[in-house]
Structure 1
Amino acid sequence: MTFTPTKLEGCYILDPTIIKDERGYFMESFNEVRFEAGIGTRTHFVQDNQSFSSKGVLRGLHYQTGEHAQAKLVRVLEGEVLDVAVDIRPGSPTFGQHEAVLLSGENQRQFFVPRGFAHGFLVLSETAVFFYKCDNFYNKESEGGIIYNDPSIGIDWGMAISDFIISEKDTVLPTLENSRPVW
């Protein structure tokens, strides 16, 4: 597996080594020792989550605050999504900047989003199965969010906003400037 650092310190794109033959393929999707060596820090995952969504579904931008902040290792099992992380760490030189990565069942790419980042994704294929590991348990009282179309962040989702399917909760999230602090 190769680990490619992004412009956002701590965020990594992971590309697996895929062994193919006439039977199909094999790949190692997670190995704690290799993962920690690749990102340069210890991360202990405690919860796995999976979602199924249709084309145009936008989930995010979400994060957990304080002691309940979460790092995530995300991937797509089937379909294709545009996955986005936004740096919301106070004092970070890349505060308010984002990284967008195309994840698909075909490319088997993964994206590591450390604590201190908002995260979201948009489904580009007809359907998608999205899977992620978290290093902390979900806590409703610690939820935070930022509106997907905040002009100060400037995410190009690559699809017309009129085609988005967004939960009511996600349509009323604040801008980054008015969002709940991560720490």
Structure 2
Amino acid sequence: MRALGIEGAWVHEPRIHDDARGSFHEWFRADVLRAATGRTMTVAQANRSVSRLGVVRGVHYGAVPPGQAKYVTCVRGAVLDVVVDLRTGSPTFARWEAVTLDDRTHRAVFLAEGLGHGFAALTDDATVVYLCSTPYAPEHERGIDPFDGDLGIRWPAGAGAVLSDRDRRAPSLAEARARGLLPRYPSR
């Protein structure tokens, strides 16, 4: 695993074993995560989403505490996966990083509690699976407008053609900050 430029975010680039039968790789190992991040991730829930080309999901995060760490990969198609530092007081506050996750490289992204997460489907039937450290709790779920100019996320052309009502109504970063909805740094 290698660290991204935002504290609490890492990318895993697995070794893929190909042969005449197909391929094999380890997409998650707790010991590798712990060695790279110094953290142990308890898996409380696993999710799967399937998205059409152009769909944007997020930017989502959990209220801290308890927050929700995630380990995310794309098992079919491709997505542009985005991690956003939403922790007030963080040296990288409002900074974002993007990693292409796809069914060829099998990269995975780990993001700690307090970081925002979103993605844009680069293909039809883009299938994302993710492990979560806490179960879904609607009372703790938060979101930021993925197209907020203060974030300046460079989504691919055509991204956002399909957006949920919840994401369409999400507050801007400034609104969320003014309302005290953002996590504080450090969040753990």
Fold conserved between structures, TM > 0.5: yes
Partner in structure 2 of residue 5 of structure 1: 3
Q: 4+ runs of 1 displaced by more than 2 Å?
A: none
Match of 1:48 in 2: 46
**Number of corresponding residues:** 180
| Secondary structure, counterpart of 1:73 in structure 2 | strand
Contact 1:83 1:122 in 2 (8 A): yes
Contact 2:73 2:128 in 1 (8 A): yes
Specify which of 91, 94, 101 is matched with residue 92 of structure 2. Answer: 94
Partner of 1:181: 182
Show the counterpart of 1:145.
Answer: 143
Structure 2 residue aligned with 1:168: 165
1:48-67 mapped onto 2 (5 Å cutoff): 48-67=46-65
Deviations 1:4-61 (A, max 9, x none): 1111012001000111111111111112112211222222121100011111111111
Corresponding position of 2:75 = 77
- 1:126 alignment partner AA: D
Between stretches 79-88 and 34-43, larger displacement belongs to 34-43
| Cα separation, 2, equivalents of 1:83 and 1:34 | 21
Say what the alpha-carbon RMSD is for the aligned residues: 1.2
> Once the two structures are aligned, what percentage of the paired residues are identical?
37
Instruction: Look up the equivalent residue of 1:156 and give its one-letter code.
Output: R
Q: Given that residues 80 and 125 in structure 1 are in contact (C-alpha distance below 8 angstroms), is that contact kept between their aligned partners in structure 2? A: yes
Alpha-carbon offset, residue 68 of structure 1: 3.0
Kindly indicate whether the alpha-carbon contact (under 8 Å) linking 1:88 and 1:95 is maintained by their aligned counterparts in 2.
yes
Contact 2:64 2:114 in 1 (8 A): no
Alpha-carbon contact 1:5-1:11 (below 8 Å) kept? yes
Deviates more, 1:34-43 or 1:10-19: 34-43
Match of 1:26 in 2: 24
Shift of 1:67: 2.5
Question: Contact (CA 8 Å) 1:16, 1:27: kept in 2 or not?
Answer: yes
Contact 2:143/2:171 (<8 A) preserved: yes
- Distance in structure 2 (CA, Å) of the matches to 1:108 and 1:17: 9
Determine which of 106, 115, 118 is the counterpart of 1:117.
115
